[in-house]
Structure 1
């Protein structure tokens, strides 16, 4: 028999619900006292049920109901983020690393052992028949490797959060610059091909790199706390066009996204193929 005690009744209820989702065998039975204790009755001849049923169920319970609580505790207590909105943003970023959406740039590779492996290893080493324990004590004393992995993901998330905050401040600073800046050119056509951006004026005449450098406001670059790209962003902000027609085959490109965030309603986004059509239509119009 295994007895698990909880500090919170709600946790006991949740784990019992997870257990009961597994089919009760004659050799394995889960009971809940209605308060804070779950009892697992196991036939001594079927101890493998711990591996095949109890441990997978408890691992699922950890992921569904406990992991976010641990992550938020790390965010709040280890890194002192007390604002609920900030906590939720960092938590969301931590999940993006956990789910593999973001690259772990510190290790430069995927983690060798999964969080699931750490939990199952700890439970395998700890659980046996005729044991009675506090779930909170198990969390505190037996899951060191698992919690260290969560700490790693929170660190990555906070690094990313700080970068995004700096980026948003940078964009807002450039927006403020645009408010009072007179337009040097009313319209810019911007052609994005692979990693290259080519500038055209309102008459579809290409603006050379030399001409762009002459248009750049040097004080704009010097006064920015963050690096401002001198080939795309600096010319665009310096010119401050009333309208930008941006033609691209990759709207998810980082620079394209930054231009969208910066110029907002001034930007008109089109597919790459539309550039040639627009240029041809303009040429026919002026003939």
Structure 2
């Protein structure tokens, strides 16, 4: 007896495997179910042997089978169809990006969806909605076209994916702008004449810092004081002040001390990106210990 017919469009084998993982419990009960595949139409047909059904009425079993198969179809949609849907949406909505840029946006969107799945134990909170939509559809239908079902019955789900893509594009553009800014700062560093050989950056607990030369003398010349005063008037952060100071000094080498505080992670990474191989990190070296003792005294 035929139970359901599924048009897979593509990846019929993946869909079959996903469904079979969920309906395996019926085989464990001794119920004989087989699937046939029509390659010309990518159609999967599930057939049961009614004589092997002992604990259910035929109608109850068909309903139970459809619900169980819906779990497998959901798994297939999320793991196989979802990346393809996201890719198609990016190509449709953001075709003005080049191929490499679209690939990066795709990866960002997929990473975002996977993160949501980990954080919420259900990516986008859609599992119950999609499964119930499938179950409702199967109440009056025994044949389903996966592509058509997604297009016409899962519009809200697709809209959620569009939001994820929009956020991925926004993040991509922000990072692109940031990278271009870093390149500009590198250029300024390259054309500057070094004013000192080595600068020690001592990161303080209160998200502040001090600059020292290689002799342990604090660098605090008039020009840096003017920068600090101007930036303070414009409510500019200590991080921006530090970057401006380093570009002005343009040292040959930079050693950053007391790097264990996670609050400094962003600014340290920025310094490393601007000054590249000139940057060295330490944590609690002899120099740090001496400065800490001086501070306590």
TM-score by length of 1: 0.80
Partner of 2:60: 45
More helix by share: 2
Larger of the two Rg values belongs to structure: 2
1:2–1:128: 8 Å Cα contact kept in structure 2? no
Out of 57-66 and 158-167, give the one that drifted further.
57-66
1:187–1:241: 8 Å Cα contact kept in structure 2? yes
Whole-Å separation in 2 of the counterparts to 1:111 and 1:31:
31
Paired residue secondary structure (1:191): strand
Whole-Å separation in 2 of the counterparts to 1:134 and 1:145:
18
Partner of 2:281: 269
Q: What is the CA distance between 1:174 and its match in structure 2?
A: 0.6
Whole-Å separation in 2 of the counterparts to 1:128 and 1:21:
22
Paired residue secondary structure (2:143): strand
1:219-270 deviation digits (Å, cap 9, x = unpaired) = xxxxxxxx99542111111111000001211477111110011101010111
Out of 82-91 and 39-48, give the one that drifted further.
39-48
Partner of 2:252: 242
Q: What are structure 1's unaligned runs of at least 5 residues?
A: 102-108, 219-226, 281-287
Query: What does 1:24-39 align with in structure 2 at a 5 Å threshold?
Result: 24-25=26-27, 26=31, 28-35=33-40, 36-39=42-45
Aligned pair in 2 of structure 1 residues 27, 82: CA closer, same or farther (>3 Å)?
farther
Q: What are structure 2's unaligned runs of at least 5 residues?
A: 49-57, 231-236, 293-297
Paired residue secondary structure (1:206): coil
Out of 122-131 and 82-91, give the one that drifted further.
122-131
Query: What does 1:254-265 align with in structure 2 at a 5 Å threshold?
Result: 254-265=266-277
TM-score by length of 2: 0.77
Partner of 1:285: none
Paired residue secondary structure (1:149): helix
Whole-Å separation in 2 of the counterparts to 1:269 and 1:168:
22
Partner of 1:206: 218
Whole-Å separation in 2 of the counterparts to 1:73 and 1:41:
34
Partner of 2:51: none
Out of 242-251 and 202-211, give the one that drifted further.
202-211
Query: What does 1:153-172 align with in structure 2 at a 5 Å threshold?
Result: 153-172=164-183
Equivalent residue in structure 2 for 1:76, among 91, 112, 115? 91
Q: Does 1:89 align with 2:94?
A: no
Out of 142-151 and 122-131, give the one that drifted further.
122-131
Whole-Å separation in 2 of the counterparts to 1:30 and 1:272:
66
Out of 18-27 and 172-181, give the one that drifted further.
18-27
Runs of 4 or more consecutive aligned structure 1 residues displaced over 6 Å after TM superposition: 109-112
Aligned pair in 2 of structure 1 residues 171, 199: CA closer, same or farther (>3 Å)?
same
Whole-Å separation in 1 of the counterparts to 2:35 and 2:7:
14
Equivalent residue in structure 2 for 1:118, among 129, 140, 164? 129
2:200–2:254: 8 Å Cα contact kept in structure 1? yes
Paired residue secondary structure (2:282): strand
**Aligned residue pairs, count:** 263
Partner of 1:189: 200
CA RMSD of aligned residues (A): 3.2
Out of 81-90 and 67-76, give the one that drifted further.
81-90
Partner of 2:52: none
Aligned pair in 2 of structure 1 residues 161, 113: CA closer, same or farther (>3 Å)?
closer
